[in-house]
Amino acid sequence: MYKINRILLFIILAIGCSIQAKTIPVCVSCAVTSIKAGIAIAKDCDTLLIKKGTYKEYNILVDKPLTIIGEDFPVIDGEDKGEIIRIVSDEVTIDGLFIINVGTSYTSDYAAIRVVKSEHFLIQNVVLEKLFFGIYLEKSNNGKVYHNKIIGDAVDEYNSGNGIQLWYSKNIEVDRNIVQGVRDGIYLEFSDNITINNNISTKNLRYGLHFMFSNDDTYSNNTFENNGAGVAVMFSKRVKMYNNIFKKNWGTAAFGILLKEINDSEISGNIFEENTIGINIEGSNRINYTNNSFINNGWAVKVRGACYENKFTKNNFMYNSFDISYNSNLNDNVFDQNYWSEYTGYDLDKNGIGDVPYRPVKLFSYIVNRTPETIVLLRSLFMDIIDFSEKVSPVFTPDNLLDANPLMKKIK
């Protein structure tokens, strides 16, 4: 009953909006010259049309269902004094604003746009620069963050904020945003059922995308490039990762994806290119890896331990310095029908599957795990020789860790 009531209310509101909504123009020469004044005189469902110009305002509180539209990207300059827009009402749309100079604080997370306990919001075509936090969603559900551009100039992790942050929010769509130069590009904490598509997250100090305690989320077709440490998915369940591109995340602790305590997830159709470590797996179980391509990484997949029942099928492993690295000789993961560029076997019956199994863990990678400094012997003749002898008769590496059906041609 409650639900039906809500739907009815929503319909009434929507119809009501379309009937009596009016547009209030805001500009220097208009009757209303500031956004705050505009919000004060606006009634529910009105539209504020903000014309081109610079508005030096902060702590703008949007407490009724409004549509705030900027014309030719009006600039809202917070002058580093604090938060800029705070939305505390349902049904708010923010469109086409250019927000700069968000204040930095170590006690409260000032954001360019903060949505608090609201529903059905839409934030689109917003450009944020010189920010602390960008778009901060707090206990707000069923909204959409679409086609925004967030360009930060963060230098240190401790005094910078995240581009798009979701905290206790559910059913949100984050689509076609560009985030760069902040701490975490997109950060999710306790947020379930989130869809993150077509975003480009680059040059961030820490992670391009960061999950914490967030379940049943999907991210696909995103590009993560040149971030401090790529994408971190931690302590979450049932996360789906499809068709993303992870590129050039390198440095001393850089990954394409860092998986920590992730269960029952899907990683499929992604491309990992030139990362120090393609995927770093720790304590993650029952994950299916299919149709991914690992190209030119230092380590394609690094398994740290406590990983059970993961399945790697139909992936391409090409020109990685190490394909798989294990730090124990126990194995409960399955590798089947992958393409390995280093596979040297033959296919006499011409069925496209190599007749000799492939062992992806080299002795060298085992040694490097034990004594990291030995990495300086990479590509030396001696290493090739002992790798070869280990391949012939495995002693140190798990002897059941093999791809029994390595493919002869790479998967398109």
Partner 1 sequence: MLKILKYSFYDLMRSRWSYVYFLFYLVLGFVLLFLNNDVSKAVITLMNIIIVLVPLIGTIFGVMYYYNSKEFTELLLAQPIKRSSIFLGQYFGVAGSLTLSLVLGLGIPFVLYGLFKSDVIFNFTLLLITGAFLTLIFTVLAFIIAISNENKIKGFGYAVLTWLFLAVIYDGLFLMSLIIFEEYPLDSLSLGAILFNPIDLARTLILLKLDISALLGYTGAVFKQFFGTNLGLFISMGVLILWTVLPIGWLTFKAKHKDF
Residue 257 or 277: the one with the smaller Cβ distance to partner 1 is: 277
Subset of residues 244 to 303 that bind partner 1, contact rule: CB under 8 A: 250-254, 274-277, 296-299
User: Which are the contacts of 13, defined by CB distance < 8 A and separation ≥ 6?
Assistant: 44, 45, 65, 91
Q: Which is nearer to partner 1, 63 or 384 (CB)?
A: 384
Q: Which 366-385 positions form the footprint of partner 1 (CB under 8 A)?
A: 367-368, 370-385
- The residue among 117, 130, 123 whose CA lies nearest residue 147 is 123
- Residue (of 221, 227, 182, 225) closest to 207 by Cα position: 227
Nearest-approach distance from CB 341 to partner 1, in angstroms = 10
**What is the Rg, in whole angstroms, of the alpha carbon atoms belonging to the chain?**
25
Q: Which is nearer to partner 1, 274 or 336 (CB)?
A: 274
Q: Please, what is the minimum distance in Å from the beta carbon of residue 391 to partner 1?
A: 17
CA distance 213 to 191: 7
**Binding residue for partner 1 (CB under 8 A) from 7, 9, 15, 319?**
319
Give the residue with the Cβ less far from partner 1, 351 or 374: 374
Stretch that binds partner 1, among 29-37, 88-96, 118-126, 363-371 (CB under 8 A): 363-371
> Interior CA angle at 213 toward 212 and 218, to 5°?
80
Pick one of 110, 121, 317, 322: the residue that binds partner 1 (CB under 8 A). 322
Smallest distance from partner 1 to CB 214, Å? 27
What residues contact residue 344 under an 8 Å CB cut-off, 6+ apart?
none
Q: At its nearest, how many Å lie between partner 1 and the CB of residue 300?
A: 11
Contacts of 157 (CB under 8 A, 6+ apart): 183, 205, 206
Secondary structure element (H or E) that encloses residue 37, with its range = helix 35-41
Q: Are 279 and 304 in contact (CB under 8 A)?
A: no
Shortest distance in whole angstroms from residue 400 CB to partner 1: 25
Is residue 395 near partner 1 by the rule CB under 8 A? no
Q: What type of residue is 249?
A: N
State the minimum distance, in angstroms, from the CB of residue 402 to partner 1.
23
d(CA 146, CA 24) in angstroms, rounded, equals 24
Least distance between partner 1 and beta carbon 384 (Å): 8
* Site size toward partner 1, by CB under 8 A: 34
Q: How far is the CB of 298 from partner 1 (least distance, A)?
A: 3
Is residue 58 a contact partner of residue 79, using CB atoms and an 8 Å limit? yes
The pair of structure tokens assigned to 238 is 């049932």
Q: Binding residues for partner 1, per CB under 8 A?
A: 250-254, 274-277, 296-299, 319, 321-322, 367-368, 370-385
